[in-house]
Structure 1
Amino acid sequence: MADQKASKPAWEKIVSFWKSEGQIPSAIREIVSVLVTVGAVVAVLLLVCGTWPAIVTIESESMVPHMDVGDLVFVVAGDRYGTMQSLEEGNVSGYEKFGMPGDVIIYRPNGNTELHPIIHRAMFWVEEGEEITVTAGLRTGTYTAPHAGYITKGDNNPVIDQVGWSNYRNLGGPIEPVKKEWIIGKAMYKIPLVGYLPLNIVPVIIIVVSLMVLHELYLRSRAKREEEKKDKKV
């Protein structure tokens, strides 16, 4: 009786499947390639920037004229590439970033991880119970810090964040002084307009997918015409 042909080891089957030219293996290779590329980019950003997210998009005009809607901003940890400084400290040291003294920081309002981070300038540090004078137009009042943290403000906003909203995006109250652990990082560089892509990600995806489908239909149509030409010659 003839010996039955030994089945291939599992790893050989996997390699054979991976190298085959079928539609499913090709699709899997494309997906894996994209995932590996994305993973490599994320790893490099984490290594260089030391924080996450390492890229944010400007969505409002609160930082005009130094940052505009659609700007893509690269973020680094507060202790990377120099110590983080407030506007008050920048006035003393001469350090400037994005057109004014001090750093522009990215922070989670009241430490809330569900809300979109805010990107505003760190103005100065306050201690718990410290009172500061706040002017809004013709009105002047006093703000008492509930705890220690940074007072922040958009360069284009008339008042500091801590008195700008009575209930910021249903946060349950006003924005409090920014604790160090709420800070994601500081803004390092910006690229104008590129941020419009993530701001409009749904229509961008629809356009890209539509172009891919049209391209695939075009390739199939061309292949069919070439086959018909060959058949006529025969």
Structure 2
Amino acid sequence: MSDTTWLQRAVSALTAFRESDRPVVSLARDLLWVVAVVGGIALVLYLFAGTWPAVVTIESESMVPNMNVGDLVLVVDEDRFGELTTWAEGQRTGQSSFGNYGDVIVYRPNGADSVHPIIHRAMTYVDTAAVVESGLGAYYDDPHGGYITQGDNNPYTDQPNLRLAGVGIVEPVEKEWIIGKALFAVPLVGYLPLHLAEFAVVVILVILIHDFVLARRKEKNE
């Protein structure tokens, strides 16, 4: 009996919340709907891509012209829809993506979570203790095996030429550092995540204006 009473109260509260005309309740209801829709989309993307984040935004010109600032890129698990292919392998087999041989990967430099992930093309894979010649003529004594990466618009590879604050010289990318590989990009849509705070304010304002207009119409009808 107590369970039934508790259930009845929960249903009654939910009904009151759903049918309430109070502005605060109406706003909360609309915001919960937005959160539910966004959460549902994120879940579908995760199940499809097998990785998180499932989408990233291009924030620099290092991959121009094949990826541009503001592009929203869908990222999938590195072995989904085919094994990860480097530029060197793609040159031999003909496999390409985003206007060049091989796959574009998203990785955490040196495995660090303190900096933004990098999205560059996987150029080749080197074994332990390999020596890599950069585009600038420098040599990098690799402390471990991993992928050598490079932006399509950069004249040199990330390893050993890229140095990041708090990370140091970017090392060859171990497989554990790879978030995923880029599948396709949608132009301009990525500007939305870059201005997420502004977008949230606009959405809230639109909801408030919508609720205000509906309330005024209801008052006139009554």
Task: Please give the TM-score of this superposition, normalised by the length of structure 1.
Answer: 0.84
| CA deviation after TM superposition for structure 1 residue 50, in Å | 1.0
| CA deviation after TM superposition for structure 1 residue 80, in Å | 0.5
**Selected match of 1:206 from 201, 204, 222:** 201
1:108 is matched with 108
| CA deviation after TM superposition for structure 1 residue 27, in Å | 5.5
Pairing 1:13–2:9 present: yes
Instruction: Verify the 8 A CA contact 1:152 1:160 in the aligned structure 2.
Output: yes
The count of aligned residue pairs is 216
Q: From the superposition, tell whether residues 152 and 116 of structure 1 become closer, same or farther in structure 2 (CA, over 3 Å).
A: same
Q: Which runs of 5+ in 2 are unaligned?
A: none
SS at match of 2:211: helix
| CA deviation after TM superposition for structure 1 residue 121, in Å | 0.3
Instruction: Verify the 8 A CA contact 2:129 2:141 in the aligned structure 1.
Output: yes
Instruction: Verify the 8 A CA contact 1:87 1:124 in the aligned structure 2.
Output: yes
Q: Deviations over 1:129-176 (max 9, x none)?
A: 21122232xxx222211210000011001111123333x0322x1110
Q: Deviations over 1:170-220 (max 9, x none)?
A: 22x111000001001100011100000000111111222222222233333
Matches of 2:165 and 2:64 in 1, distance apart?
Answer: 21
Which amino acid counterpart does residue 43 of structure 1 have in structure 2? L
Instruction: Verify the 8 A CA contact 2:105 2:178 in the aligned structure 1.
Output: yes
1:120 is matched with 120
Instruction: Verify the 8 A CA contact 1:18 1:25 in the aligned structure 2.
Output: no
Q: Which runs of 5+ in 1 are unaligned?
A: 1-5, 228-234
Q: From the superposition, tell whether residues 226 and 25 of structure 1 become closer, same or farther in structure 2 (CA, over 3 Å).
A: closer
Q: Deviations over 1:29-49 (max 9, x none)?
A: 545544443343233222211
**Selected match of 2:216 from 194, 204, 221:** 221
Structure 1 stretches of 4+ with a deviation exceeding 6 A read none
Task: Please give the TM-score of this superposition, normalised by the length of structure 2.
Answer: 0.89
| CA deviation after TM superposition for structure 1 residue 18, in Å | 1.1
Pairing 1:56–2:75 present: no
Aligned-pair identity in percent equals: 46
**Selected match of 2:160 from 139, 163, 176:** 163
| CA deviation after TM superposition for structure 1 residue 225, in Å | 3.7
| CA deviation after TM superposition for structure 1 residue 222, in Å | 3.2
Matches of 1:62 and 1:159 in 2, distance apart?
Answer: 11
Matches of 1:183 and 1:102 in 2, distance apart?
Answer: 15
